[in-house]
Amino acid sequence: MRFLSCALLLAAAAPLAAQVGHPPASSPYQDITDGHSVMPIIGYVAGGGGRFGIGPHNGTVYGVRYDVRTGKTIQFGLSYAQGDLDRFIVDPFVTLANRVTGPFNQLTRLADLTVQLNISGGKGWHGIAPYTGVGLGVAFGKDLAADTSGYSFGTRFYVAPQLGTRFFLGSHVHLRVEGRAAFWKIKYPLSFGDEPVQEPGTPEAPNAVITDSQFDEWSVSPWFQAGLGYAFRF
């Protein structure tokens, strides 16, 4: 009799145990479908442009992004953006009062490959899927005819660690919001180490732009961007 009572209790408890958790239809976690996505992006590149402000910074960029969207932890993306960013001109040949002019607009193009780590794996929580990652890219800065110092931003490789999230509005549409920090090296011309012809200094009080022999530096530019993506399959 005792054995029969225990068996009946176990049988009654089985349906209750099956109810633990969320039914698939009401689960807060949704699978991210595999495929590809494209999105227009808009962003803002901030920063100071290095210690003299002659690197590109402070401006809006527009572009496009393509992602291989997977339901896995790792995914890859390509992006291209461009915009007119601010920069100053430092003239090492004139008087100190006239040395710095600007800011001027410099057309800057940015292209990169991103390796993305999806924090929530292949699922989103209530449509939210945070991620982190890093972008490896190339920046191209158009020269300014007004800058006769010998400085040129030229072509610079950059690395951009990033943190962001995707908001899935359905199986095909999602919003991406992302913050980056782009690191690139700025190289200064040797003319920055010369005394200005119009106002030369002395060995004790030099008037050269650079007096510490450091003719390059790493500059970091905070970079914020957002885009609305559409997913598809071939």
Residue ranges of domains in the chain, CATH in brackets: 30-189+218-232 (2.40.160.20)
In terms of Cα–Cα distance, which of 145, 117, 109, 149 is closest to 133?
A: 117
Q: Cα 143 from chain centroid?
A: 23
Q: Return the structure tokens found at 208.
A: 């050269």
Confidence label for 24 from pLDDT (cuts 50, 70 and 90): low
Report the range of poorest mean pLDDT among 5-19, 59-73, 76-90, 95-109. 5-19
Q: Extract the runs of DSSP E, i.e. beta strands, from the chain.
A: 29-31, 35-45, 59-69, 74-90, 100-118, 123-125, 128-141, 154-168, 173-187, 216-232
What is the rounded radius of gyration, in angstroms, for the C-alpha atoms of the chain? 27
156 pLDDT higher than 50: yes
What does pTM read for this prediction? 0.84
Alpha helices in the chain (DSSP H): 2-18
Please give the Cα distance from 39 to 113 (Å, whole number).
15
Across the chain, mean pLDDT equals: 88
- Whole-number pLDDT of residue 8: 37
Among the residue ranges 120-129, 142-151, 153-162, 216-225, the one predicted with the least confidence is 120-129
